[in-house]
Amino acid sequence: MASTDVIGAGQAQKKQGNNMSSKKKSRGPWLERYSALILAVVLLGAWQILVPLSGLSEFVLPTPLAIATRIVNELPLLATHGYVTLFEVVVGFAMGVLVGIPLALSIFYSRAFERAIYPILVALQTVPKVALAPLLVLYLGYGWAPKITLAFLISFFPIVISTVVGLQSLDKNLVNLVRSMGAGEWQTFFKVRLPAALPNIFGGFKVAVSLAVIGAVIGEYVAAERGLGYLQLQANSQFDTTLNFATVVAISGLGVMLYFIIDTIESRVTYKRDSAK
């Protein structure tokens, strides 16, 4: 669900960028424009109808309407736990940015640093971060610290890699161009290198923030007293499948929301290269 929403939004944005062709495109078949939405409605409708027909108990598979009703009714509860998870994700992701970007810059500007750190980074990346969760609980306790750490560890790698790749893929002639105008490295960075790398960097942010949600929730599964992951385990132990599903929707909603916040910031600070095509 989340991914189809995201693709739909991207297309809508591209159309906005170009008034001339959007006029043409908007007259196109409406079936094509809303195909993702229609498919989602059809699938949810089928789910709604087939569950009672199949005779499955509500404890096994609740209907979409039952889940939606439950979400509305439990909104305060979901919000209370949602805030905790949101806090962990945001702090972990912010730490990923604060550590990842300077590290990426060091890798980009220093050959020696790149040689020293890259193999270690790649080796660390092969360690499944999720497997560190029990250890983090052991060291950092039951509070938000291990969740934030996990969210940080899991989100930091894509930020580093996408930033390095973004900086390295710059057309060398652009550097010559601004140098010919008298720019030093400082100006070259801010006028050309950084703006040219922004689409890559934001791509990394989007991947990272989705992963940070996973990190925080896994942390909560292992040991927690609050948060959406904790709430879900509670629902599970009480055979409250509807609340269980409601939590899944809340976790997804959290990820989608953060994704769109980053996407919005991106469209404010960057210009999409292909928007006129």
Closest to other proteins by CB, 76 or 184 = 184
Q: In the bound complex, what is the minimum distance in angstroms from residue 169's beta carbon to other proteins?
A: 14
Contact positions vs other proteins (CB under 8 A): 171, 173-174, 176-183, 187, 191-192, 195-196, 198, 270-271, 273-277
Paired tokens of 96: 């990923």
Q: Which of 269, 260, 271 is nearest to 10 (CA)?
A: 260
Nearest to 262 by CA among 188, 218, 212, 214: 212
Measured from the CB atom, is 27 or 273 closer to other proteins? 273
Other Cβ atoms within 10 Å of 232 Cβ, number: 23
Question: Could you tell me the smallest distance in angstroms from the CB atom of residue 16 to other proteins?
Answer: 14
Nearest approach, Cβ of residue 189 and other proteins (Å): 12
Our CB check for other proteins shows the closer of 21 and 110 to be 21
Shortest distance in whole angstroms from residue 156 CB to other proteins: 26
Only one residue has tokens 């909104």, namely: 75
* Contacts with 162 (C-beta within 8 Å, 6 or more apart), sequence order: 200, 201, 203, 204, 205, 207
The answer to whether the beta carbons of residues 64 and 44 sit under 8 Å apart is yes
Q: Whose Cβ is closer to other proteins: residue 66's or residue 178's? A: 178
Find where tokens 């980074």 sit.
Answer: 121
Nearer to other proteins (CB atom), residue 6 or residue 174: 174
> Minimum distance between the CB of residue 271 and other proteins, rounded to whole angstroms?
4
CA distances for 244 relative to 61, 213, 233, angstroms: 10, 17, 8
